[in-house]
A and B are shown apart, each in its own frame.
Chain A
Amino acid sequence: MADLKDAIKEKSMNLQKEMLAKQFHDLSQANETGKKVVYTFVPGNLTELILSFDMLPVYPEINALQSGMRKKSADYIKDAEKMGFSEDVCTYVKCDIGMMLNGNIGPTGEKLPSPDLLLLSYTGCFTFMKWFENLERLYPGVPVAMLHTPYQEEGKIAQEQVDYMVKQLKEEVIPKMEQVSGKKFDPQRLSGMLENSARAEDLLVKVLESAKNVPTPIDAYFAGVYYIGPIFTAFRGTAEAVNYYHELWEEVQERMRRGLGPVTPEGELKEQKYRLVMEGPPNWTNFREFWKIFYDMGAVIVASSYTKVGGVYDLGFRHDPKEPLESLSRYCMGCYTNMNLPQRVGLLEKYVKEYKADGFLINSIKSCNSFSAGQLMIMREIEQRSGVPVGFLESDLVDPRYFSYANIKNRLESYFQMLEQRKIILRQEGVIA
Chain B
Amino acid sequence: MDRLTEIVKKAETLAFDLHFTAARAWKQSGDHRVLVGYLPIYVPREIIHASNGLPVGIMGAGDRKQIIKGDAYYQSYICHLPRGIIEMALDDNLNDMDGFLFPAICDCIRNLSGMFKLSSKGKFQRYFDYPQNFDPAIGGIFYRQEMEKILADIRAINGQEANVEKLNHAIGLYNRNRELIEMIYSIRQEYPWRLSGLDTYYILRAGITIPVEEHNAMLEEVVDLIGEERGEPMDNIRVVITGSFCEQPPTGLIKSIEMAGCYIVDDDFMLGSRWIQGKINNTSKDPLEALCDAYLNQSTFSSAYYDVGNPKGKRLVELVKSRNADGVIFSAASFCDPALLDRPLMQKECDDSGIPHINFQYHENTGQFKVIKEQAGTFSDSIKLWV
| A residues apposed to B, CB below 8 Å | 83-86, 88-90, 93, 122, 125-127, 129-134, 136-137, 144, 146, 148, 150-151, 153, 160, 164, 167-168, 171-172, 340-342, 344-345, 364, 366-367, 369-370, 372-377, 381, 394
Q: Cβ of A127: which chain B residues have Cβ within 8 Å of it? A: 107, 337, 341
Q: Please tell me if B104 contacts chain A, counting CB pairs below 8 Å.
A: yes
10 other A-B residue contacts (CB within 8 Å) besides A148-B133, A376-B72: A84-B348, A85-B341, A89-B341, A137-B311, A148-B131, A150-B129, A340-B114, A341-B115, A374-B111, A377-B118
Mark B325-342 against chain A: 1 for CB-CB distance below 8 A, else 0.
000000010111110111
Could you tell me the distance in whole angstroms from the C-beta of A138 to the nearest C-beta in chain B?
A: 9
B118 near A372 (CB under 8 angstroms)? no
What residues of A have a CB within 8 angstroms of the CB of B145 in the complex? 160, 164
State in angstroms the CA–CA spacing of A366 and B75 once bound together.
Answer: 8
Q: How many B residues have CB within 8 A of the partner chain?
A: 53
CB-defined contacts of A131 to chain B, threshold 8 Å: 341
Cβ of A373 and Cβ of B108 under 8 Å apart?
yes
Given contacts A340-B117, A377-B118, contact A369 B106 (CB under 8 A): yes
Residues of B within 8 A of A342 (CB): 114, 117-118
- Indicate with 1 or 0, residue by residue over B93-112, a CB within 8 angstroms of chain A CB atoms: 00000000000111110111
Q: Which residues of A have CB within 8 Å of B105?
A: 126
* Interface bits B70-83 vs A (CB < 8 Å: 1, else 0): 00111101100010
**Pairs A–B under 8 Å by Cβ, sample size 13:** A85-B340, A85-B343, A88-B77, A90-B337, A122-B132, A126-B106, A132-B308, A160-B142, A160-B145, A164-B131, A341-B114, A374-B112, A377-B73
Contact B127 A164 (CB under 8 A): no
Q: Tell me whether B126 is interfacial, beta carbon within 8 Å.
A: yes
Residues of B within 8 A of A377 (CB): 73, 115, 118
Contact B118 A341 (CB under 8 A): yes
B78–A373 touching, CB < 8 Å: yes
Q: Given contacts A366-B77, A369-B108, are A88 and B340 in contact (CB under 8 A)? A: yes
Query: Which of A84, A144, A146, A376 touches B74 (beta carbons < 8 Å)?
Result: A376
Which B residues are CB-close (under 8 A) to A164? 131, 138, 141-142, 145
Chain B contacts with A in 114-146, Cβ cutoff 8 A: 114-115, 117-118, 126-127, 129, 131-133, 135, 137-139, 141-142, 145
CA distance A150 to B117 in the complex (A): 18
Main secondary structure of the interface of A (DSSP, over half): helix
Given contacts A89-B340, A129-B132, A153-B113, whether A373 and B118 have CB atoms under 8 Å apart is no
In whole angstroms, what is the CA distance A364 to B76 when docked? 11
User: Is A148 within 8 A of B132, CB to CB?
Assistant: yes
In the bound complex, residues from chain A placing their C-beta under 8 Å from that of B131 are 148, 164
Task: Please list the 10 inter-chain residue pairs (A to B) with the smallest Cβ-Cβ separation, ordered nearest first.
Answer: A341-B114, A84-B344, A130-B341, A374-B111, A369-B107, A148-B132, A373-B111, A86-B340, A370-B107, A153-B127
B256 within 8 A of A: no
Q: Footprint of A on B, CB under 8 Å?
A: 72-75, 77-78, 82, 104-108, 110-115, 117-118, 126-127, 129, 131-133, 135, 137-139, 141-142, 145, 303, 306-308, 311, 332, 334-338, 340-345, 347-348, 361
A133 to B340, CA, bound (A): 13
**Provided the pairs A146-B308, A164-B138 are in contact, do residues A373 and B104 lie with their beta carbons within 8 angstroms?**
no
Q: Which of B72, B112, B129, B343 contacts A84 (CB 8 A)?
A: B343
In the bound complex, CA of A50 to CA of B137 (Å): 25
- B139 partner residues in chain A, CB cutoff 8 A: 148
Asked whether A376 and B75 contact (CB < 8 A) given A133-B307, A168-B138, A341-B118, the answer is yes
Partner of A168, one of B82, B107, B127, B133: B133
A146: chain B residues at CB < 8 Å are 132-133, 306, 308
Interface centre among A89, A132, A153, A164 (most CB of B within 10 A): A153
Q: In the bound complex, do residue A376 and residue B73 qualify as a contact, i.e. CB atoms below 8 Å apart?
A: yes
Docked complex Cα distance between A132 and B306 (Å): 10
Contacts of A129 in B (CB 8 A): 132, 306
B337 touches A150 (CB 8 A): no
With a cutoff of 8 Å between Cβ atoms, the chain A residues found around residue B126 in the complex are: 153
Given contact pairs A88-B334, A133-B308, A93 touches B341 in the complex (Cβ within 8 A): yes
Do the beta carbons of B343 and A345 come within 8 Å of each other? no
Interface centre among A93, A133, A344 (most CB of B within 10 A): A133
Give the shortest distance, in Å, between B229 (CB) and chain A (any CB).
41
Q: Nearest-CB distance from A278 to chain B (Å)?
A: 17
Give bound CA distance, A86 to B115, whole Å.
27
Complex-state Cα separation, A129 to B334, whole angstroms: 19
* Residues of B close to A381: CB separation below 8 A: 118
Interface centre among A132, A136, A340, A373 (most CB of B within 10 A): A373
> Which chain B positions have C-beta within 8 A of A148?
131-133, 139, 142, 306
A129 to B129, CA, bound (A): 14
Which residue of B115, B137, B311 is within 8 Å of A374 (Cβ)?
B115
Query: Knowing A88-B334, A377-B73 touch, does A151 contact B110 (C-beta < 8 A)?
Result: yes
- Given A85-B340, A86-B361, A171-B138, A372 contacting B78 (CB threshold 8 A): yes
